[in-house]
Amino acid sequence: MNQARYSLELVRDVARRRTFAIISHPDAGKTTLTEKLLLYGGAIQMAGTVKARKSSRHATSDWMEVEKQRGISVTSSVMQFDYADHTINLLDTPGHQDFSEDTYRVLTAVDAAVMVIDAAKGVEEQTIKLLDVCRLRATPIITFVNKMDREVREPLALLEEIESVLRIDCAPISWPIGMGKRFRGVFDLRHDRLLRFTAGEERIGDPEDSELIEGLSNPRLDLLFPDEVAALRHDVDLIRHASTPFDLREFLAGRQSPVFFGSGINNFGVQEILQALIEWAPPPLPRDAGTRIVQPAEAQFTGFVFKIQANMDPKHRDRIAFFRVCSGRYRPAMKVEHQRIGREMKLGNVMTFMANERVASQDAVAGDIIGIHNHGLLQIGDTLSEGEALSFKGIPYFAPELFRIARPRDPFKAKQLQKGLQELGEEGAIQVFERVHGNTLLLGAVGQLQFEVVADRLAREYKVDAIYDTAAISTARWLTYPDEATRRNFEKEHTASLATDVDGNPVYLATNKYNLQVTMERWTKVGFHTTREHGQRLEHA
């Protein structure tokens, strides 16, 4: 075992990495913020590049037909760029109708997240779901309250809502002065200065572009904002005394979020987010690999697959596995052990994803994401390492919220349907359950688009035309029992609600939340789980 070998160069390269995702409800401004971040990183030269891609991604991508028809990205992508001597990996979490399990899984591969809140709308549904997933790994969250150039809600009320709905402490780092047409800027509470707001979508955001006014008692404030200056001093004074001070340890533990106010579209407050990522967000963290914790600067190359992208040529069943490096250094054509199947694999044809192109990877260290071409050999959750038997944890399945019953239009195609669903299930495109009662195949997803992707791929790759009936189920829970007797009793009483997943684990299907709650209250000793690890068989205590 060579985990004791560290090289200074590797330690330094790892320390320079920041790997994060932006989480938000659709329309809060994720795409806009992504674009401005990439502009700072010099990864794109023109505003509008990412937005143009959002509306016509099909023009440049070779992804699936479904995506082409709907003009959306089926799965999320990765953008790497450099900023202030750091290498930043920004992982996109699809947010619109293309919300899927991938959205969740991407969050297992990051070390931090930026949460964008629309200041007019406050905390919205999808943000709540995504934050719950971040909480599984206590991911540190930086909050960006966006669209301050609009008529929005009171900043204090917004913070209160974030704290109560998302159950995370807020530490304001900046405080907005006015809003909408009277948005004057933000007061930087740490450095005691006002960053004056100037509108302008195309600003690249040179710090000199925005005027900085040092000190709350600066007479320039009286000159510039005669009507607002008294309120400004009062607000800043109040917030300084009343709000939680920023505490790095609390942030790193995922309990407290530093909050920034700004306007993404005007490139205002964006650089502060980048700065916070570099200063406060953690470099790649140690990861639990089952038998031990793997340190990011260990010499031995390790990592795991968190997402599979089907490549488009149906004749080749070619796949790209998105792989998070957890330690060591990737070298072209290196040999690694595929732990699940116990086989050696040569890593040729590996890609790094830059902001607007893919390039052949030459070098990747912990925190970086590489794309490995393969033909179905890799599944979500798979660990690759240089020899040592490891298995990274924390890449779960999430309880689906949408269900369909699949049956082939031609009854003679039942075998193909089963095979196709089995393989797509293993790949992570959809979850497949077999009901105990009636033997029907039930598909579970967290986003509607997952069904469309699966229907499309079944037709194309497996030549099965299937019918997808809606199922009167609203959610599922994985079950664990304290003993055999409880299992038998529970199963006897709930046969109609039971199913097994692809790995044979028992699952409870609930018709609605109330039904689930009642059952959970009656069977307090039975475990009802919202997530399950890939490839893991649940232990029955």
Q: Does 24 bind ligand G4P (CB under 6 A)?
A: yes
Q: Does 382 bind ligand G4P (CB under 6 A)?
A: no
- DSSP lists the bridge partners of residue 310 as 319
* Placement of tokens 């060579």 in the chain: 2
- Cα–Cα distance measured from residue 124 to residue 265, given in angstroms and rounded to the nearest whole number: 20
Q: Which of 108, 127, 146, 257 binds ligand G4P (CB under 6 A)?
A: 146
Q: Does 446 bind ligand G4P (CB under 6 A)?
A: no
Q: Which of 14, 21, 31, 111 binds ligand G4P (CB under 6 A)?
A: 31
Q: Does 143 bind ligand G4P (CB under 6 A)?
A: no
Residues in the chain: 541
Q: Where does 41-154 have alpha helices with state H? A: 49-55, 65-70, 101-106, 125-136
- Cα–Cα distance measured from residue 72 to residue 55, given in angstroms and rounded to the nearest whole number: 7
Q: Which of 32, 73, 309, 505 binds ligand G4P (CB under 6 A)?
A: 32
- Cα–Cα distance measured from residue 207 to residue 345, given in angstroms and rounded to the nearest whole number: 48
- Cα–Cα distance measured from residue 296 to residue 293, given in angstroms and rounded to the nearest whole number: 10
- In one-letter notation, the amino acid at residue 317 is R
Judged by CB under 6 A, the stretch of 28-36, 77-85, 329-337, 420-428 that binds ligand G4P is 28-36
Q: By C-beta, is 149 or 235 nearer to ligand G4P?
A: 149
Q: By C-beta, is 149 or 169 nearer to ligand G4P?
A: 149
Q: Does 27 bind ligand G4P (CB under 6 A)?
A: yes
- Taking CA 195 as the corner, what is the angle to CA 194 and CA 196, rounded to the nearest 5 degrees? 105
Q: By C-beta, is 265 or 325 nearer to ligand G4P?
A: 265
Q: By C-beta, is 252 or 265 nearer to ligand G4P?
A: 265
- Cα–Cα distance measured from residue 261 to residue 158, given in angstroms and rounded to the nearest whole number: 11
Q: By C-beta, is 120 or 459 nearer to ligand G4P?
A: 120
Q: Which of 166, 265, 310, 417 binds ligand G4P (CB under 6 A)?
A: 265
- In one-letter notation, the amino acid at residue 213 is I
Q: Does 28 bind ligand G4P (CB under 6 A)?
A: yes
Q: By C-beta, is 174 or 266 nearer to ligand G4P?
A: 266
Judged by CB under 6 A, the stretch of 141-149, 271-279, 295-303, 316-324 that binds ligand G4P is 141-149
- DSSP notation for 422-473: HHHHHHTSSEEEEETTT--EEEEESSHHHHHHHHHHHHHHS---EEEEE-S-
Q: By C-beta, is 270 or 421 nearer to ligand G4P?
A: 270
- Cα–Cα distance measured from residue 235 to residue 177, given in angstroms and rounded to the nearest whole number: 9
Q: Which of 3, 6, 15, 26 binds ligand G4P (CB under 6 A)?
A: 26
Q: By C-beta, is 263 or 327 nearer to ligand G4P?
A: 263
Q: Between β-strands 334-338 and 343-347, what pairing exists: parallel, antiparallel or unpaired?
A: antiparallel
Judged by CB under 6 A, the stretch of 179-187, 257-265, 370-378, 513-521 that binds ligand G4P is 257-265
Judged by CB under 6 A, the stretch of 263-271, 291-299, 336-344, 424-432 that binds ligand G4P is 263-271
Binding residues with ligand G4P: total (CB under 6 A): 18
Nearest one of 295, 326, 273 to 35, comparing CA atoms: 273
Q: By C-beta, is 256 or 263 nearer to ligand G4P?
A: 263
Interface with ligand G4P in residues 388-407 (CB under 6 A) = none
Q: By C-beta, is 29 or 284 nearer to ligand G4P?
A: 29
- DSSP lists the bridge partners of residue 432 as 443
Q: Does 482 bind ligand G4P (CB under 6 A)?
A: no
Residue 177 CB, shortest distance to ligand G4P, in Å, is 16
Q: By C-beta, is 94 or 400 nearer to ligand G4P?
A: 94
Q: Between β-strands 506-510 and 141-146, what pairing exists: parallel, antiparallel or unpaired?
A: unpaired
- Taking CA 155 as the corner, what is the angle to CA 247 and CA 225, rounded to the nearest 5 degrees? 105
Q: Does 103 bind ligand G4P (CB under 6 A)?
A: no
- Cα–Cα distance measured from residue 131 to residue 254, given in angstroms and rounded to the nearest whole number: 10
Judged by CB under 6 A, the stretch of 207-215, 264-272, 370-378, 490-498 that binds ligand G4P is 264-272
Residue 228 CB, shortest distance to ligand G4P, in Å, is 20
How do the residues of the chain divide into helix, strand and coil, expressed in percent and rounded to 5?
Answer: 30, 30, 40
Q: Which of 36, 105, 147, 477 binds ligand G4P (CB under 6 A)?
A: 147
Q: Does 185 bind ligand G4P (CB under 6 A)?
A: no
Q: By C-beta, is 263 or 475 nearer to ligand G4P?
A: 263
Q: Which residues are CB-neighbours of 310 under 8 A, at least 6 positions away? A: 64, 318, 319, 427, 429, 457
Angle of the 448-461 helix axis to the 414-427 helix axis, nearest 10: 130
Nearest one of 135, 159, 127, 148 to 272, comparing CA atoms: 148
Judged by CB under 6 A, the stretch of 12-20, 24-32, 331-339, 524-532 that binds ligand G4P is 24-32
- Cα–Cα distance measured from residue 181 to residue 184, given in angstroms and rounded to the nearest whole number: 9
Interface with ligand G4P in residues 66-95 (CB under 6 A) = 95
Residue 35 is given by DSSP the state H
Interacting residue ranges for ligand G4P, rule: CB under 6 A: 24, 26-32, 51, 95, 146-147, 149-150, 263-266
